Amino acid sequence: MNTKKTLFDKVWDSHVVQHIENGPDVLFIDRHLVHEVTSPVAFLGLKTRGIKVMHPEKTFATADHNTPTINQHLPVEDPLSANQLRMLEENSNEFGISYWGLGHEKNGIVHVVGPEYGITQPGATIVCGDSHTSTHGAFGAIAFGIGTSEVEMVLATQCIMQTKPKSMRINVEGSLNRGVTPKDVALYIISQLTTSGATGYFVEYAGQVFRDMTMEGRMTVCNLSIEMGARGGMIAPDEKTFEYVKGREFTPTGAAWDKAMAYWETLPTEEGAEFDKEITFNAADIEPMITYGTNPGMGIGISNGIPQADAVEGGVATYKKSLQYMNFSEGDSMMGKPIDFVFLGSCTNGRIEDFRLFTSLVKGRQKAPNVTAWLVPGSHKVEKAIKDEGLLAILNDAGFELREPGCSACLAMNDDKVPAGKYAVSTSNRNFEGRQGPGSRTLLASPLVAAAAAVTGKVTDPRELMTEMVAG
Amino acid sequence: MAYDKFNTLKSSAVPLPIENVDTDQIIPARFLKATERKGFGDNLFRDWRYNGDGTEKKDFVLNNPTYSGKILVGGKNFGSGSSREHAAWAVYDYGFRCVVSSFFADIFRNNCLNIGVLPVQVSADFLDKILKAIEADPNATFEVSLPEQTITIESSGESESFDINAYKKANLLNGFDDIDYLLNIQKEIKEFASDRPL
């Protein structure tokens, strides 16, 4: 039997409180992130049972999904949203959980603020009632999204019952081409695997591309693990990880830091460890990506045409329904298609590096008059950096404005909705029917592709505009 | 919270032979603003079921009186996307007790199991047989037996077995939930937590 362990095995096995024969493992959770949409019924359950939150000090709440991105200093207008936000505040107070609500300096998207404040750490188990919890896997943590019954479970007992998933390693070797970003790498992988290709697996990303990637890029990739069906994806912690984590508010210090480091350095997958499935891609094959359909697996290199129905995996009827919704045809080129909206933001691409990349391309140009652009930072910390680094001035000169932090048009729970029939180039994570508003049509892409669309008003290869800039 | 017990279900079924049905279709985000678990069935498949002005889309299966029953039959990769348990609540609240597909997304499957809706994964061939049986007779009935772990097309007698882990099976048969179990091993959890570094 192979005794070499993977990163995933090490973290999982060290958190198993109990293994149930022919059943799930009872897994101890180190960090529980909570937001307003998926928690009220869980807190209600605790109250009905008359029990407390077992570890309020391991539980962190922020408001992000259902918040406005303008005039956050004013009362929230929508009564249902206001009520949901008030419930989270009241529940946090009642159960002794730290709450970073609207207007709080630490407020932001739950998966952006977790890493920013050092709540996210290597070797930890992290859950949240949100499927993009996989983001935190960038630090070598096991992080995955859960349902509300499971939120209640973790609040009540700090444990979750889960069957151990199978393991998959995805290697991307070589160096990325010019204009190709972490988002493109993830969209490429999903286009190759399909949206169910990694269902039942936990992914480890390995190879030169991920070693070379910044922490923020790794977060973007791990964030999108769920879009290939995986519960989560992780990357072995290295010097970049430790450098990022060090000195943040919730990061251990002194002797505790030394102890943590000693543990974190033991985490990477051992040479010779086996995975249930292993796939290798070549970085040279990846170009800037864009999606054309209604799931994140329907993506192509931006210079390619929309595939024929008989060339794709899955049913022809479902494929045609998808293209009909988008009002696209098989064989169409994506380049030059007119667009109406651009959304820069979300837990996928709402970090400072994403804003730097977007700004680098729109600098000295002007927003196309036919485009409505929503630039939404992932957190107040990101918002502050955009101002401090001088990006805001450049964006304003180019005709763009900055909104306040939140999930915004990624899921359009607030007023940031793309109207029916309109096209949005979006740096978010899902292009499902109606995701950005009833009838909206979403083209998922990187911040660079979004920037190119924003200044040209149509789908444009960002490499055509990058003659004088360094690749992202 | 504890839920209805599930043992054997005999019912006709509602066919939705579309692949990659994501949870944004099952319940769009704008209907996630409630703070209690009720009423989600009204907005199940909202944008496939209703026009923007609230009138019914006549060609959607839930608006077709020919089809009814407590079993929803979906295409491959059912329930992908967002972790919103509201999707499972909407399926339950509408009146479904069982969802059949040839492949489920992980979180949706867990969410169903946690609220007492049984996800039954069958082979692509058997899914096709079920859909053909409904096509031949919209009132065709199916028997889903949790004790036997089988689903049977009653008209032809054809049957296929499905997987479920023994722990979850016992929970569903008895109407227990995971929190009941975890609260019973609190002492063990506390001991485990006492020497965690984080």
Digit-by-digit pLDDT tens for chain B (198 residues) are 457 899 999 999 999 999 999 999 999 999 999 999 999 999 999 999 999 999 999 999 999 999 999 999 999 999 999 999 999 999 999 999 999 999 999 999 999 999 999 999 999 999 999 999 999 999 999 999 999 999 999 999 999 999 999 999 999 999 999 999 999 999 999 999 997 877
Helix (H, G, I), strand (E, B) or coil at B185: coil
Those of residues 325-384 in A touching chain B at CB distance below 8 A are none
Alpha helices in chain B (DSSP H): 23-26, 46-49, 86-94, 106-115, 124-136, 166-174, 178-184, 186-194
* Closest to A450 measured CA to CA, from A345, A352, A322: A345
Helix (H, G, I), strand (E, B) or coil at B142: strand
Q: Which of B18, B46, B82, B167 to mutate to test the interface with A (most CBs of A within 10 A)?
A: B82
With an 8 Å Cβ cutoff, is B138 touching chain A? no
HSE on the CB side for B152, CA within 13 Å?
Answer: 13
8 Å CB contact of A199 and B24: no
Contacts with B29 from chain A: Cβ below 8 Å? 65, 411-413, 435
What integer pLDDT is reported at residue A471 of this predicted model?
Answer: 44
Alpha-carbon distance B196 to nearest alpha carbon in chain A (angstroms): 8
Helix axis angle, B106-115 to B86-94, nearest 10°: 50
What integer pLDDT is reported at residue A444 of this predicted model?
Answer: 98
Q: Give mean pLDDT in consecutive 10-residue pieces for chain A, a chain of 472 residues.
A: 91 97 95 98 97 97 97 95 97 98 97 98 98 98 98 98 97 98 98 96 98 98 98 98 98 96 98 97 98 98 96 89 98 98 98 98 98 98 98 98 98 97 98 98 98 98 80 43
3-state helix, strand, coil in chain B (%, to 5): 40, 20, 40
* Closest to A441 measured CA to CA, from A315, A322, A263, A278: A322
With an 8 Å Cβ cutoff, is A248 touching chain B? no
HSE on the CB side for A128, CA within 13 Å?
Answer: 34
For residue B20, give the nearest of A49, A195, A226 by CB distance: A195
What integer pLDDT is reported at residue A312 of this predicted model?
Answer: 86
Q: What's phi and psi for A169, nearest 5 deg? A: -110, 130
What does R_g of chain A's alpha carbons equal in angstroms?
21
Q: Taking CA atoms, what residue in A is nearest to B1?
A: A45
8 Å CB contact of A31 and B198: yes
The ipTM estimated for the assembled molecules is 0.96
Q: Taking CA atoms, what residue in B is nearest to A226?
A: B81
Going by C-beta distance under 8 Å and a sequence separation of 6 or more, which residues neighbour residue B151?
B100, B120, B122, B126, B130, B142, B143, B144, B145, B159, B160, B162
With an 8 Å Cβ cutoff, is A302 touching chain B? no
Alpha-carbon distance A236 to nearest alpha carbon in chain B (angstroms): 19
Q: Taking CA atoms, what residue in B is nearest to A436?
A: B29
What integer pLDDT is reported at residue A468 of this predicted model?
Answer: 56
What integer pLDDT is reported at residue A1 of this predicted model?
Answer: 63
Q: Which tokens sit at A404?
A: 């306040």
What integer pLDDT is reported at residue A472 of this predicted model?
Answer: 42
Those of residues 38-77 in B touching chain A at CB distance below 8 A are 47, 52, 75-77
Question: DSSP code of B135?
Answer: H
For residue B114, give the nearest of A37, A84, A149 by CB distance: A149
What integer pLDDT is reported at residue A418 of this predicted model?
Answer: 98
b/e A412-424 (16+ beta carbons within 10 angstroms → b)? bbbebbbeeebbb
8 Å CB contact of B185 and A17: yes
Alpha-carbon distance A95 to nearest alpha carbon in chain B (angstroms): 17
8 Å CB contact of B179 and A58: no
8 Å CB contact of A28 and B29: no
Q: Round to whole Å and give the CA distance between A87 and A85.
A: 5
With an 8 Å Cβ cutoff, is B109 touching chain A? no
With an 8 Å Cβ cutoff, is A420 touching chain B? yes
What integer pLDDT is reported at residue A470 of this predicted model?
Answer: 47
* Closest to A102 measured CA to CA, from A68, A58, A56: A68
Q: Round to whole Å and give the CA distance between A354 and A467.
A: 19
Q: Which tokens sit at B159?
A: 């049957």
* CA A197 to the chain's CA centroid: 18
Quote the pTM value: 0.97
8 Å CB contact of A199 and B105: yes
For residue A158, give the nearest of B75, B177, B189 by CB distance: B189
For residue B33, give the nearest of A31, A81, A259 by CB distance: A81
Contacts with A195 from chain B: Cβ below 8 Å? 20, 77, 80
Q: Round to whole Å and give the CA distance between B47 and A309.
A: 25
Those of residues 110-149 in A touching chain B at CB distance below 8 A are 121, 124, 129-131, 145-149
Would you state the torsion angle of the CA atoms of residues A199, A188, B19, B45, taken in this order, to the nearest 10 degrees? 90
What integer pLDDT is reported at residue B3 of this predicted model?
Answer: 73
Q: Which of B178, B184, B185, B186 to mutate to test the interface with A (most CBs of A within 10 A)?
A: B178
Q: Which of A131, A149, A248, A441 to mutate to test the interface with B (most CBs of B within 10 A)?
A: A149
8 Å CB contact of B189 and A40: no
For residue B107, give the nearest of A147, A152, A321 by CB distance: A147
With an 8 Å Cβ cutoff, is B143 touching chain A? no
Alpha-carbon distance A442 to nearest alpha carbon in chain B (angstroms): 14
What integer pLDDT is reported at residue A439 of this predicted model?
Answer: 97
With an 8 Å Cβ cutoff, is A25 touching chain B? no
Q: Taking CA atoms, what residue in B is nearest to A29?
A: B193
Contacts with B104 from chain A: Cβ below 8 Å? 199
Contacts with A199 from chain B: Cβ below 8 Å? 77, 103-106
